[in-house]
């Protein structure tokens, strides 16, 4: 199974194309709220559509 690891602004994304899945994990952030507002949600959705 192929894995694609992408270094994001707040952590890492692990994409598994074979099962059409992306796992996002924050690493080293002071706050573990990955969705702090509407702008962040829109930005993450746009980023995931590009994977």
Query: For the chain, which residues make up each domain, given as ranges?
Result: 4-49
Predicted confidence at residue 34, as pLDDT, reads 63
∠ at Cα 42 (44, 17), nearest 5°?
Answer: 35
Beta bridge partners of 24: 13
For residue 44, report the phi and psi dihedrals to the nearest 5 degrees: -65, -40
Identify the pLDDT of residue 36: 73
The two structure tokens encoding residue 19:
């099962």
Most distant CA pair in the chain: distance in Å? 34
pLDDT tens track, the chain, 51 positions: 999 998 876 678 888 999 998 887 766 555 556 667 888 788 878 877 876
Q: Which two tokens stand for residue 45?
A: 């959705």
CA-to-CA distance for 14 and 47, rounded, in angstroms? 13
């Amino acid at each position: 199974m192929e894995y694609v690891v992408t270094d994001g602004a707040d952590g890492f994304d692990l994409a598994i194309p074979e099962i059409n899945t992306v796992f996002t994990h924050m690493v080293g952030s002071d706050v573990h709220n990955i969705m702090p507002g509407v702008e962040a949600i829109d930005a993450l959705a746009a980023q995931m559509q590009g994977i």
